[in-house]
Chain A
Amino acid sequence: MTTSTVAAVRGLRVSYDAGDQRVTVAEDIDFELTRGRTLGLVGESGSGKSTVARTLLGHLRDGSRIDAGTVTVFEDDVFALAPAPLRQLRGGTVALVAQNAGHALTPSMRIGAQLRETLDAHGLPSGDDRLIELLDLVRLPSPDALIDRYPHELSGGQQQRVAIAMAVSTDPKILVLDEPTTALDVITQAAVLALVNELRERLGMAVLIVSHDLGVVSAVADDVLVMRLGREVEHGPTQEVLNRPREEYTRQLIAAAPRVHGVDIIGREDPDADVVVRCRDVDIRYPRAPRLAVSGFDVEILRGETVAVVGESGSGKSTVASALAGLADVERGEAALWSSDGTRHDLLGAAARRPVDVRRSVQLIFQNADLALNPRRTVGDAIARPLKVFGRASRAETPAVVDRLLTEVGLGPEFARRVPAQLSGGQRQRVGIARALAAEPTLLIADEITTALDVSVQAEVLALLDHLRESRGLSCLFISHDLAVVRSVADRIVVMKDGRIVESAPTAVLFEEPRHPYTRSLLEAVIEPGHTELPGSDADHRTTTLDPDAPLIDIGNGHRVRDDEGALTTR
């Protein structure tokens, strides 16, 4: 161990009890953390990366144990520490920032109290001035007011900053970040990562960052350790691993990562296709909300076309999806759907009041497939249900149709008898797609359907969706917060912010000539594998304000931009 080495993990093996057998979560893991450097721990879900990271704090999940190896922080074997020194280590020497600060902050305690108790636990001064100083350090606005707030009153990005402030409050020597930006939008992600980098330099910490996102690791980590199923796949300097991966698995991971740059766009404009959905000036308001959730939404979807709606959380993109599916009330405006024989149907009003045929024509796929499937029904039942409700197959034909649909989404007939708990996340999402297809819809609304999936699975689901669009001539409204995901599937992209459309253009045009300042900052904030530096850390100050009266202006080529300051003048 050299003098700058602050922690070492040697030959670590962790396992847990599952019934009467022991399952190994991690095996033969070796790494060191060095002062002022960042190690990235990369892997897909189930790779054991979080388990390994948390051993640095002497934490194991219930039922898990260390079978072999040691975790040493400075001179101490973490798992041999007595309770009192272990508490000093936790939060004092090694601090953790958990994945979702929304869940990691105690809901019943004010921000100030939670910060103060960390300081108190480690015998540090905890006056209001110190709390304000900490909140200032993570660049939170008006810290003195924030102290008295509860976690739920903050945005996701602000919560994550509070979590970071809490972690660095004790001047820890090691900072462990467990998927710190997964729940954040790209702009906030860039700002939070820049903050971590800055604090690492200023406080001289060693950082361990756990992520499934190669882009994030590429931009902040000096070294990277790729894990798969609890074992090390590859370990080395970040640029070497990402540019010249030695292992096939690393190569697959890199290939599956969604990118904004250097990927071909499938330009398949078919101007002769008929319009399937047209919305004009749609305003949506949640019951008794003072503010409109969506205002002046305009979109036109052609047959066989995929239109993506992109925006950060709170931009109103999912609200648009629920309104078109009839789950949220439209306050004003028009929305219509044309069936293949040219009849026009209204798409306003609740799903329960729509004619059966309209309900059938619009199908929704949900973000979280575990919640969208009834855990007590078999996959076959779930898919047979729309067949029966919409009269698409007789009782005798149903099993055959279910089998065909399951095959079409790449699962196979044997899945019909399983229940959702027996499926992986990607398989559940495929079932969700098959269920939507069973209704033979005209319009498929996909609401963040790949957000909960690993990158390699995400790539497969996106490919499936694209294949279905082509083979069935489906139109698709694809809702996502991720520009990189959208790039590979969408024909046209609509960018939303604060309930309004700021820009809408064919995919190639939007990526090549983004005009609205907000679109540009979204694109600049994307981090992807191969980036060695973070996008400008001034993301905090680059807030785009919208002029409520600005019109959407058509600048040709199907490209429309909202006439806000800086949208049409500068380039």
Chain B
Amino acid sequence: MLRLIGTRLATSVITLFLAAFFVFFAVQALPGDVAEQLLGQNATEEAVATMREQLGLDANVWVRFAEWLGGAVTGDFGTSLVSGESVSGTLWTAFSHTLLIAVPAIVVGIGLSLVLGVWAGSRRGTSTDSGISIIALVAMSIPEFVVATVLILLLAIIAPIFPAVVLGGPGASLSELLPAIVLPAITLVIAMAAYIIRAMRSSTIDGLATEYATTAELKGLTRRRVLWRHVAPSAILPVLPVISINVAWLLGGVVVVESVFNYPGLGKLMIDSVSTRDLPILQAIAVLSALVYVSVNLIADLLALAADPRQRTLHSSQRRSRSSKEATA
């Protein structure tokens, strides 16, 4: 069990390292380097060379990778080319703003979707089920910028309850941001709920068809208890990867939603940095996204271990049955 967690942690670290490696060298491979961008197209060769020397860009690429990686591990991603401020400071402000809309969206979104999914699955074929399924399907097919726009129209313009956009920019205080997080959070919940609801619904249907669910029902248990105590814990297993992908997508900065609401989060920072070609910030965002994806997947795996006692002990026999299945195929 401990060894298993250890292995998963080690692979996560390697994944992160590889992500950092590819990000760094992809940026190196781009035409033009930081010095050229800073000085513009009309700069002389000498000026560029001097700038490179100042920035330490003339050193060997591996040495620079090692220095950048060393800085990144301690949270130092250098300074922004545009604002001249530290990258990590800017990044952290934007990320904490994203967290401010993402965390409530995740908590409410996952909780609600799981309950709705189980509910729909347990009433398969009824109007409750078709209602939930149709709404989920519709929510899935409408792009989130449309959802966001409709929400602004309804709740900010027709009934001016929440602010439509954030005017404060990156320096906005918490009290300025709080009323503004509601609409983006609702948009995110709508965007991700559909996938989780559908996955949980079909997983619940499969769970209710198992022999252990029938046995539990024929023990004289109430349907509610069969559903929540016997079916749901195992039914959530196949849904965990769907949840983790959605969560990672949310935390990685939801570019479109943040743009619509002019919300100063990670996605907005990324768009701004792309348009100003602020490479140090882009590198840092890429590494942060990788970190988020890796950690969320790690958490999902650990949750799967917690939810399924078989995974804790049966690793060797699973391998065995898999290999015999492969042989069969």
* Chain A residues within 8 Å of B, Cβ to Cβ: 54, 57, 59, 87-92, 95-96, 98-100, 103-109, 117-118, 121-122, 150, 152-153, 163, 166, 286-289, 322, 325, 327, 351, 364, 366, 371-372, 374
Contacts and interface: CB of A to CB of B under 8 A. Distances in A.
9 contacts: A90-B220, A95-B219, A98-B211, A105-B212, A106-B234, A107-B234, A121-B222, A286-B316, A325-B327
- Per DSSP, chain B at the interface is helix
A108 B234 contact: yes
Contact of B328 (A121, A152, A371): A371
Contacts, number: 99
B148 to A, nearest CB: 39
Contacts of A366: 328
B313 A153 contact: yes
Interface in B102-145: none
Interface string B308-319: 111001101001
B1 to A, nearest CB: 13
Interface of B: 210-222, 225, 229-230, 233-234, 307-310, 313-314, 316, 319-320, 323-325, 327-329
Contacts of A100: 211
A506 to B, nearest CB: 31
Given A57-B218, A59-B218, A152 B212 contact: no
B223 to A, nearest CB: 9
B234 to A, nearest CB: 5
Nearest to A325: B327
A96 B218 contact: yes
Given A122-B220, A322-B324, A98 B215 contact: yes
A54 B221 CA distance: 16
Given A96-B215, A98-B215, A287-B319, A107 B309 contact: yes
Given A103-B210, A287-B316, 17 more contacts: A57-B218, A90-B220, A95-B219, A98-B215, A104-B215, A106-B216, A106-B230, A107-B234, A107-B309, A108-B307, A117-B219, A118-B219, A121-B219, A289-B316, A322-B324, A322-B327, A327-B327
Nearest to B328: A372
Nearest to A102: B211
State the 8 A-B residue pairs at the shortest beta-carbon distance, nearest first: A91-B220, A91-B219, A108-B233, A103-B211, A150-B309, A90-B220, A104-B215, A106-B212
Given A98-B211, A104-B215, A371 B314 contact: no
Looking at B215, B320, B328, the one whose CB has the most chain A CB atoms below 10 A away is: B215
B320 A103 contact: no
A371 B324 CA distance: 11
A54 B218 CA distance: 9
Residue from A59, A103, A107, A351 having most chain B Cβ neighbours under 10 A: A107
A147 B323 CA distance: 33
Contact of A374 (B215, B308, B329): B329
Residue among B211, B218, B230 having the largest count of chain A Cβ atoms under 10 Å: B218
